[in-house]
């Protein structure tokens, strides 16, 4: 009977560890996305100040 308690605890620890590692990778992607967005806004701001607004459509 105690066997299942130990197995359950080990599986729970493995699942928490896996989630923590995947969350770490997500933060890297989030940082890259934020930098790309900031660059895009700066580029658009330069174009607006130069009078070269580009609009799709």
Residues 13-46: tens digit of each pLDDT: 999 999 988 877 677 888 899 999 999 999 999 9
Contact, 50 vs 43, CB < 8 A? no
pTM, to two decimals: 0.47
Residue with tokens 């590692």: 21
Q: Determine the pLDDT at residue 21.
A: 85
Q: Would you state the pLDDT for residue 35?
A: 94
Q: Are 54 and 47 in contact (CB under 8 A)?
A: yes
For residue 2, what pLDDT is reported?
84
Would the pLDDT of 54 be above 60? no
For residue 57, what pLDDT is reported?
Answer: 47
């Amino acid at each position: 009977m105690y066997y299942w308690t130990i197995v359950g605890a080990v599986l729970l620890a493995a699942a928490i560890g896996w989630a923590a590692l995947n969350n770490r990778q997500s933060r890297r992607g989030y940082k890259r996305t934020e930098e790309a967005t900031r660059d895009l806004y700066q580029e658009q701001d330069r174009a607006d100040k130069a009078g070269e607004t580009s609009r799709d459509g």
